Amino acid sequence: MSAQNQQNDGKSNDGLFMSADELRDYADKIDTARASQAFQGMKSAEDARKELLARLSKPVEVTDEIRNRVLSRLKQAAKDGRTDLMVMQFPVELCTDGGRAINNSEAEWPETLTGVPRQAYEIWRDKLKPAGYRLSAMIVEWPHGMPGDVGLFLAWGEVRKY
């Protein structure tokens, strides 16, 4: 670009190209827009997490629809040759210790559960354990290297000893 086509304020005056200053300004605006979208996305995700925590903090009525949905998922897993199924995923905030006992495989991890996860454990203890199902829990999501979500797994396969 010749000096004639460049104004003193760093703007291109021929309309064909952006000056370097204009391009930097454009890139800055794009970065700002992306950051704003990312922030809105994070805010939406945080709002959804808070809503989920509120919903899972209180026991729910276990309806026939819920029972049938779980049974259907179990049957599909067995049909697929699997011997276990993650039946619930929930934030570690629903554990009184933030998931520490689960992460450390402590025998008393069920005592740390609250809300719907506690209710799910009690259903397993009272109904499914006598029917031969096993229940385990593990941290399944690690955002920023910290425990994030817990998975509850039902297992029905043969216990293998190595």
- pTM of the complete model beyond 0.85: no
| Mean pLDDT of all residues in 108-137 | 96
Q: At what angle do helices 20-56 and 115-123 cross, to 10 degrees?
A: 50
Say if CB 69 and CB 95 are below 8 A apart: no
Amino acid at 6: Q
**Residue 9: predicted pLDDT:** 53
Average pLDDT over residues 9-37: 73
Average pLDDT, the chain: 86
* Per-residue model confidence as pLDDT tens digits over 23-34: 788 788 888 888
What's the pLDDT score for residue 18? Answer: 66
Give me the residues paired with residue 136 across strands: 153
What digits encode the pLDDT tens for the residues 58-113?
988 999 999 999 999 999 999 999 999 999 999 999 999 999 999 999 999 999 99
The strand ranges marked E within 74-116 are: 84-91
| pLDDT at residue 11 greater than cutoff 90 | no
Average pLDDT of the residues in 47-52? 84
Task: Read off the pLDDT band of 2 (50, 70, 90).
Answer: very low
Contact between 149 and 139 under an 8 Å Cβ cutoff? The reply is yes
Quote the percentage of the chain above a pLDDT of 70.
87
Residue 133 CA, chain-centre distance (Å), reads 25
Between CA 138 and CA 35 the distance in angstroms is: 33
